[in-house]
Amino acid sequence: MERVIVNDVAPRDGLQNEPAAVSSADRVRLVNALVHAGLPAVEVASFVSPTAVPNMAGADELVAGLDLDRARFSALVPNRKGYERARAAGMRGVAVVLAATETMNVRNINMSLGRAVQVCTEVLQQARHDGLATRAYVSTAFECPFEGVVADSEVERLAAAMFAAGAEEVVVADTIGAGNPKRAKELFGRLVAAFGPSPLAAHLHDTRALALANAWQALECGIRNFDASAGGLGGCPFAPGAAGNLATEDLVSLLQQAGFHTGVDLAALLSVVEHIGTLVGRPVGGRSLPWLQRRNGTQNRCGG
């Protein structure tokens, strides 16, 4: 059975955009529950300015509460300071974030596109030197909420720059869920032709119920690394219109049906999704949740 790696970003992308912060202790429990459910990789936190994203404060404390040998953990770092904090906390993997347009970089990390490329390059080089695993997001890869459609050639150019800087993986991110299956096939096909499938990952927001269809296109292009968020939580506070991520339960159930091995125990994952509902104080869950709950014989306590 062919393996697909699912990286759950609920503790970071999922919780960064919630109205209320979740404590570091609860975030540690969430990460552990995801690992217990079989997720091989989890983006646990971001080391960003607590003024910019208050919900991500306490990342250092969160990481101190984790057993770092249990899974492939990564943290988002927007700049050198974030990188130094992540490294001091003991993180073994970091992800830099570069948006594909000028305006989105300014809104998100207060840098021009050129400056963002420079800062991401420096952080990636330092991380490689220090022996950390490295990912680079190329955000707004389909469309920017401020500048509109992004050219595939620009995404390829930025991905190439991130690989050249030392990114082991480039994560193609549809920040506002603007992609569609036709475009996804073209973009992922182009990137796979340029870089091969193995160092690429897809991070898809599900604003218009197209994330799963776009993930399928990425899969058909050969990509075997996906971000997803348990319960479908997520969104970037600086990208108007960004909705939740592709729900991990939706992706995993599709992958399992299609004969791929993920290592994820769907029944355990459903318990995590219900738990997230209690953490954020409202029902959460992907589109497949009621269907999965019926098949697993679990009670629908999240109202999904």
74/293 with CB nearer Mg ion: 74
* 8 A C-beta contact, residue 134 and residue 169: yes
CA distance 85 to 52: 16
Answer yes or no whether residue 13 interacts with ligand HMG by CB under 6 A. Answer: yes
Active site residue 236: yes
13/250 with CB nearer Mg ion: 13
* 8 A C-beta contact, residue 21 and residue 53: no
Site for ligand HMG in 89-108 (CB under 6 A): 97, 108
Answer yes or no whether residue 52 interacts with ligand HMG by CB under 6 A. Answer: yes
Tokens of 222: 């050969």
Task: Give the DSSP letter string of 198-257.
Answer: TTEEEEEB-TTS-HHHHHHHHHHTT--EEEEBGGG----TTSTT--PBPBHHHHHHHHHH
Site for ligand HMG in 152-211 (CB under 6 A): 173, 175, 203, 205
Identify the bridge partners of residue 201 per DSSP, sorted by sequence position.
Answer: 171
Q: Shortest CA distance to 176 belongs to which of 134, 147, 216, 219?
A: 147
Figure out which of the listed residues 13, 18, 249, 274 binds Mg ion, where binding follows CB under 5 A: 13
CA distance 227 to 13: 10
User: Quick one: what does residue 101 bind among ligand HMG, Mg ion, none, with the CB cut-off 5 to 8 Å set by partner type?
Assistant: none
Figure out which of the listed residues 139, 225, 229, 262 binds ligand HMG, where binding follows CB under 6 A: 139
Min. distance of Cβ 95 from Mg ion in angstroms? Answer: 11
Size of the site for Mg ion (CB under 5 A): 1
Min. distance of Cβ 137 from ligand HMG in angstroms? Answer: 4
Answer yes or no whether residue 143 interacts with Mg ion by CB under 5 A. Answer: no
Give the binding site for Mg ion (CB under 5 A). Answer: 13
Residues with active-site annotation: 236
